[in-house]
Chains A and B, each alone.
Chain A
Amino acid sequence: MSTTSSEQPRPDVWLKTKDSELYINPLPVRIWHWLNALGFVALILTGTQIRYADMFNVMSFETAIKTHNWVAFAVIANYFVWLVFYLFSDRITVYHPELNFRKFFDKAFKQIMYYSYGIFRGAKSPHKVLPYDKFNPMQSITYQIVMLLVVPVQFITGLMMWDIKRFEGIIEMAGGLEVVNTVHVLIYIFFISFTMIHAYMGSLGHTPATHFREMFTGFEEEH
């Protein structure tokens, strides 16, 4: 598929052309990504303030809760920018899973080896970033789990706690408020390291700035 897309560019409303550069991230993806990034950082910080009110006093508990709630709603709305864009554009292929498991594991292993050793030796990434095949197998599977499972669960548990009375029945079905809260906190814990590692791995492109630039402008140089 990647070979096809690179050899025969598809007609795409989001496809722009630039000499020797590929249009990897269309505008909706970039808007969603950066709003999401800001939102997640704000949610992690306010979440930390809420959970550890005795250790940090950056803002009052009330402000932390209210900020957390408003940002969360913005992030939920923003999630639909991502969802609608990929559901209604053929760029959804970037998430297509590799149904051939052997091929998937083979590519994944090569990618791990690249990040473990090859990258330090100046080797080229085994995965070539293309508009319709943006993610390496590990990114593809991770982002799908995150966007289709982890993030929605975080939204749902957060919504339940935003208005406990309204979602009383669902909370009861889920095993009580403490269970809901524990799930929410576990995902928060996951996102602490995810956000930091994600930002670091963003610097592992051809140059440290390659992927950051790509996320701002949408274009990445062909290598």
Chain B
Amino acid sequence: MVRNTSGVRHILGPFLIAMLSCCLSNALLAQPAEEQSATDKPVSKVPATEAGAAAQDTETSPEIDPATKAALKLEETLKQNGKCLRCHNRERTKLLEDGQELSLQVPKEPYVTSAHGEVKCVSCHSAIGKRKHPSKSTNISIASERAYSVEMNDSCRKCHRQKYTQYKGSVHSALVAQGSDKAPLCSSCHNPHAPVSMADYQAETGLPCKNCHENIFDSYSSSVHGQARINGNTIRDSHIQAPICSDCHHSHEVTALAIGDVLRTTCIACHENVTLLHNQWLPNAGTHLDIVSCAVCHAPFAKRKFDIHLYDNVAKVPLTLKEGDPPIQDQLQAIADEGGDGDPLEIWKSRSGIGGEGQAADISLRSRMEVMSGVAAHQIASKSFAVRTCESCHEPGWRQKQNVTLSVTQPDGRRQSFEADRDILSKSKAIESISDFYALGGNPSKFLDILVLLSLAAGIAVPVGHFTLGKMINEYLARGKR
């Protein structure tokens, strides 16, 4: 359309400028207040009478009413953004270095009516100003859409400082820092040109988490939590919302719940009487809640594992590696590989130097029962299906039947696990390190079993032997008398 009218505009241009100048000079003479609104201040979209009144107020009072100031600022913003949208409302693309095309289109709707509609385009796109706008001659080179998103990510901090700080502490941000090209940026979940409020997220769809965690979300959807959510929370009291992703993992400071007792704390945040309920029937409920992940019993079909992690005895938390500590992969892999022949703790210490002799850290091995995968961890079933048979863990040889992983929390907060040989738990060299890995009835000792049999045999043999001996002696002596 612009192309069709450009010729007409060319002819009418000088005439229109002259007309506009005339009108403007008349207006300046007649309405001094309007002069201010038309030049120094942004044009207000509020009704003319109100704008006029506001303008008169600004003239009469030295202090501008904050509401008016905000309204005027908004008008200015809308005016400036309007200039950008005049072009960017239309479909247009930019060829990137990776050969892909980046859409430069920012649809006026919903942008102008969104929360960001009140923010100047240049607030985020600061590199593109009035005199800095790229053109064919001053083209800006962009490697890829991802690279541009990473570059732009910091701009969110200007307004959303708290959320941004939370995000920077998240596992997502840590992955981005490590160079992941899939880990989410702010714009991965929030379209910057069409942001919606929290209330507008259709949580049941699983978006945006589902974009990356589809398997986990499907698992969640079929869980008691997911079903409750879909069915309008009919399982619990209606005032309690069944949890969606962000309720447990948080929206911005996204954490892996498998670390330490974060999962338990998260579950207890809603199921606050869980300790009391378990105390009513479960012997050693406190210990069970400490060392058995909720999902181990409440996701009854999940495969389980014995997760051995390094524990900082001084700080009394699972060991988190610090920046500068030796790389963890090789050491854990070595323990996983060699652990069957040695003490995993000693292998760890000798290879890493952390927690060894002369080191400040006092490190031991601790264990937790976990489920094998994140997918399994979300398959929480109704309480009536939860595992309640103690024998599922407390049976002889139980320890030897478990999958075993060795894990440590990395500086970025993620837990890295390696599958280890099951024998790692039954080698005599590891006895001291794993002395806490005890499950009643699950730790067979052939030596003790033999002693039990011997004791039973003695309990039978002594009375029977003594009685028989007496009979034999009496018979022998009686025979001698005869």
Contact = CB atoms under 8 A, between A and B. Distances in A.
Interface in B206-260: none
Interface in B428-482: 431, 435-438, 440-441, 443, 445, 448, 451-452, 454-456, 458-460, 462-463, 466-467, 469-470, 473-474, 477
Contact of B391 (A53, A120, A194, A196): A53
B290 interface: yes
A192 B460 CA distance: 10
Interface stretch (B1-9, B86-94, B280-288, B339-347): B280-288
Contacts of A60: 389-391
Contact of A186 (B436, B451, B463, B466): B451
Contacts of B437: 178
Nearest to B470: A120
B459 A197 contact: yes
A189 B452 contact: yes
B82 interface: no
A161 interface: yes
A189 B394 CA distance: 20
A120 B473 contact: yes
B181 interface: no
A54 B395 contact: yes
A168 B283 CA distance: 15
A186 B448 contact: yes
Contacts, number: 111
Contacts of A69: 283
A60 B445 CA distance: 22
A177 B458 contact: no
Nearest to B290: A165
A200 B438 contact: no
B413 interface: no
Contacts of A121: 473-474, 477
A200 B463 contact: yes
Nearest to A68: B283
A199 B397 CA distance: 34
A179 B469 CA distance: 39
B192 interface: no
Contact of B462 (A53, A119, A162, A197): A197
Interface string A180-197: 011001101110111111
A217 B41 CA distance: 110
A165 B289 CA distance: 10
A161 B473 CA distance: 48
A186 B469 CA distance: 29
Contacts of A166: 286
B396 interface: yes
B396 A54 contact: yes
A11 interface: no
Contact of A193 (B286, B397, B441, B462): B462
B181 to A, nearest CB: 45
A87 interface: no
A50 interface: yes
A185 B438 CA distance: 14
A163 interface: yes
Contacts of A31: none
Interface residues on A, range: 35 or more
A203 B173 CA distance: 78
Interface string A136-169: 0000000000000000000000000111111000
B474 A189 contact: no
Nearest to A62: B390
A190 B455 contact: yes
Nearest to A180: B438
A162 B284 contact: yes
A192 B459 contact: yes
A196 B440 contact: no
Contact of B455 (A50, A120, A164, A193): A193
A165 B286 contact: yes
Contacts of A199: 463
Contact of A50 (B440, B454, B458, B469): B440
Contacts of A189: 448, 451-452, 454-455
A117 B469 CA distance: 9
A181 B396 contact: no
B455 A181 contact: no
B463 A196 contact: yes
A60 B281 CA distance: 13
A69 B454 CA distance: 26
Nearest to A199: B463
B283 A196 contact: no
Contact of B286 (A161, A163, A186): A163
B273 to A, nearest CB: 18
B473 A117 contact: yes
A55 to B, nearest CB: 8
Contacts of A10: none
A185 B286 contact: no
A117 B466 CA distance: 10
Interface of B: 281, 283-284, 286-287, 290, 388-391, 394-397, 431, 435-438, 440-441, 443, 445, 448, 451-452, 454-456, 458-460, 462-463, 466-467, 469-470, 473-474, 477
Q: What are the 5 closest A-B residue pairs judged by CB atoms, nearest first?
A: A196-B459, A200-B463, A176-B435, A165-B286, A61-B390
25 contacts: A53-B391, A53-B396, A54-B395, A61-B394, A65-B390, A66-B283, A120-B473, A121-B473, A164-B284, A166-B286, A176-B435, A176-B436, A177-B438, A178-B431, A178-B435, A178-B436, A178-B443, A181-B440, A186-B451, A190-B455, A193-B459, A193-B462, A195-B459, A196-B460, A200-B463
